[in-house]
Structure 1
Amino acid sequence: MRRDVFNAIADPTRRNILMSLTTESQNVNSLAEQFDMTRQAVSLHVKYLQECGVITINKEGRERFCKLEAQTLSEVADWLEPFRKIWESRFDQLDSLLTKLQDKKEN
């Protein structure tokens, strides 16, 4: 089965792991401390994220450090772009309506 970035973000725990890695690389133990699940369960999520290509794992001694590969997530941003444009258009329309209502109120 081919795993991709969309598989990676499909699970809330995996999304939270990715968010945790936005500031710095962390070892699996540090990640596991942030969740109400076993270290083994977190390790399985980490393995899944690695298979999806959104994190890399570097071994330093006996520790495994997880690093976010943020550029891989650009595929999600690209996919969301048409929806962002729709919402921006709707917000522009709302802003225009609110301005008109405010102008009427002032007159």
Structure 2
Amino acid sequence: MPGYAENLGSVISIVIALLMYSMFSQIPFTSLKKAFGDRTYIKALLTTNFIIVPIVVWGLSQLLPDNPSLLIGFYLVFLTPCIDYVIVITSLGKGDEKSLNCPRMRIKL
């Protein structure tokens, strides 16, 4: 059923566009200036996400067998944290989980 697959391909693009629109329309873009105003928070966020975590993940990956499929899965799980468990862990550590509501920035929703 090649014709069915071609039609489904165009529908998938439309559905993804609608899902992305609904997600991004909930972000209070007018508050982004305030979010980026906290330089200490942004420095800590960038240092952790782009320096510390990749180094730790690379070190842990050295303990795994040299299997590309396994390594891709490992990297995806550890380098792309889900905001749900970031909020839970922050809350358990008595952190300010409310500041993590919008893509890991200090935006109060």
Bigger share in helix: 2
Relative to the length of structure 1, the TM-score reads: 0.27
More strand by share: 1
TM-score by length of 2: 0.27
